Structure 1
Amino acid sequence: MISLEGKTGLVFGIANDRSIAAAIAQQCHDAGATMAFTHLPDADPERPKARNRCLKVVEGWNPKLVLPCNVSDDAQLDEVFDKVRAEYGKLDFVLHSIAFASLDDLKVPTYQCSREGFKMAMDISAYSLLALAKRAEPLMTDGGSILAMTYIGGERVIPGYNMMGVCKAALECSVRYAAAELGPKNIRVNAISAGPLRTLAASAVGDFSAMSKLYETFSPLRRNITAEEVGSAGAFLLSPAAGGITGENLHVDAGFHAVAAPPEDAQE
């Protein structure tokens, strides 16, 4: 049984109730964790759509902090971590479930992406993990766990994933370096490489039905995954139960990553 009783976490990336971050946060809540949350800043404070979508997931847990944060803005990151320090005094885990590339750069071949689009996508999707780790480290006085979300498109070419695959490759490498650098402080850094889930982010990078069918046909389990399975794996890696695991890229994808050729019973 995973326990996060007495643990305090900070969650980045709940865009709505179908977000992977929401599934992981639910499992962490069920395991006893206390959490603070961030959401994208709303352009119109009178119509706080991003905040309301986040609150729809978390307000039943009575969180003390639900804060706007643009992770490409150092001042906003500093403010979030300052408020967490003031409210809780320390952190035990951080969930990074953030990625972005403009549609103009995502929908073209990778070699045709713009310079500015490349920099923005890398900043938000990869560098932000290091920015969070830098600010979390002083608060993880008893050690801690940092978890990022990735996809197999960071390891292999997935048609349609394009620029985001390059960003995920950088993110995964950042996980390994941060794990090595923060390990002496008993801070673990890992990633989950999840199979396709019908999230807001997934809608921008390809045909979900076709990808889900591919997993059902090719994966060793002959099915796609569920959000609950990713949530359970995430809560495990964030908990003391995974105390000996760091620098890991855990595939929660029904075994799809292990397959190099169609199985004999694959449908034509």
Structure 2
Amino acid sequence: MKPIPTPPLKGMKALVAGVANEHSIAWGCASAFRQLGADVALTYLNEKAKTYVEPLARQLEAPLLLPLDLAKPGELEAVFERVTQAWGRLDILVHSLAWAPKEDLQGGLLESSSEGFCKAMDISCHSFVRMARLAAPLMADGGTMIAMSYHGAQKVVSNYNLMGPVKAALEASCRYLAYELGAKGIRVHPVSPGPLKTRAASGLKDFDLLLNEAQRRSPMGELVDIMDVGFACAYLATPYARRITGGTVYVDGGVNIMG
């Protein structure tokens, strides 16, 4: 790739939450942001995940590599304290975090437990609201917040089960946050990638069938990869997208337009 004379994200500060390994959508975003000039901070779930994420952080010369388990009280606040100490500001926030108990994820919505549904909603949706609350004061000059959704938020996708309603709530939350934060120059985007072989997706039942179906239905005839998603998110963070906010942005090769 030829170097861009003036990288469009040069000097920007990006926090990317949810990197698990080199197959993560979050890693695609972090890589794209760095290629386009941003300084990038990463989070990882736990010590086991750190062994995979630490080498990636070195590749990006990331000044911050921080633990973030949303189920542990205080860890989210600690991340933003470190960002504030190191940078004093933030331009880009990416939330690429989702979780549900396996027994609830692999069963139908009708059979999902109240506890499992609430946990999935807290980790996969409300955590983005909490992040936005902490990030907004650091975006005094405006900024971009991105949360990862999926087509199952809009249409029924076999075996997506309780994550469909959870992602629908996430997209609605993005719309309301876009409304509430727009006057501050902060844009909020739910981004909906096509299916990708990530660690999180491996918990879905018959995921390979979902991948094959997406490729079959795509007008482009191929699946997306993490860098397709990363560069789309990078574009949304540039001044070129300064009047785009709130609407779901699909990066799926056109699968969402098919009946």
Contact residue 72 and residue 128 of structure 1 kept, 8 A: no
Q: Separation in 2 of the partners of 1:216 and 1:118? A: 30
* 2:146 alignment partner in structure 1: 147
For 2:30, which of 15, 19, 25 is the aligned residue?
25
Deviations 1:135-188 (A, max 9, x none): 000000110000011100111111111011111001000000000000000000
* 1:219 alignment partner in structure 2: 218
* 1:64 alignment partner in structure 2: 63
Change (3 A) 1:229 1:178: same
Q: Separation in 2 of the partners of 1:214 and 1:75? A: 41
Q: Separation in 1 of the partners of 2:224 and 2:83? A: 33
Deviation of residue 212 (structure 1)? 2.4
Map 1:151-190 to 2 at 5 A.
151-190=150-189
Q: Match for 1:244: what amino acid?
A: R
Q: Separation in 1 of the partners of 2:252 and 2:199? A: 18
Deviation of residue 73 (structure 1)? 4.0
Deviation of residue 109 (structure 1)? 1.1
Q: Separation in 1 of the partners of 2:227 and 2:171? A: 23
Q: Separation in 1 of the partners of 2:182 and 2:37? A: 25
Pick which of 143-152 and 224-233 moved more: 224-233
Deviation of residue 74 (structure 1)? 4.7
Mapped pair 1:127 → 2:126: yes
Contact residue 99 and residue 124 of structure 1 kept, 8 A: yes
* 1:6 alignment partner in structure 2: 11
Contact residue 101 and residue 120 of structure 2 kept, 8 A: yes
Gaps of 5+ in 2: none
Map 1:1-268 to 2 at 5 A.
3-41=8-46, 48-260=47-259
Q: Separation in 2 of the partners of 1:73 and 1:92? A: 26
Q: Separation in 2 of the partners of 1:147 and 1:209? A: 27
Contact residue 32 and residue 230 of structure 2 kept, 8 A: yes
Pick which of 110-119 and 216-225 moved more: 216-225
Deviation beyond 4 Å, 4+ runs, structure 1:
none
Gaps of 5+ in 1: 42-47, 261-268
TM-score by length of 1: 0.91
Deviation of residue 37 (structure 1)? 1.3
Contact residue 144 and residue 188 of structure 1 kept, 8 A: yes
Q: Separation in 1 of the partners of 2:145 and 2:73? A: 19
Q: Separation in 2 of the partners of 1:181 and 1:246? A: 11
Pick which of 89-98 and 235-244 moved more: 235-244
Deviation of residue 209 (structure 1)? 2.9
Contact residue 221 and residue 254 of structure 1 kept, 8 A: yes
Helix, strand or coil for the counterpart of 1:223? Answer: coil
Change (3 A) 1:145 1:74: farther
Q: Separation in 1 of the partners of 2:246 and 2:73? A: 25
Contact residue 27 and residue 226 of structure 2 kept, 8 A: no
Deviation of residue 238 (structure 1)? 2.1
Counting matched residue pairs gives 254
Q: Match for 1:20: what amino acid?
A: I
Contact residue 147 and residue 189 of structure 2 kept, 8 A: yes
Deviations 1:229-258 (A, max 9, x none): 111101111222211110021111111110
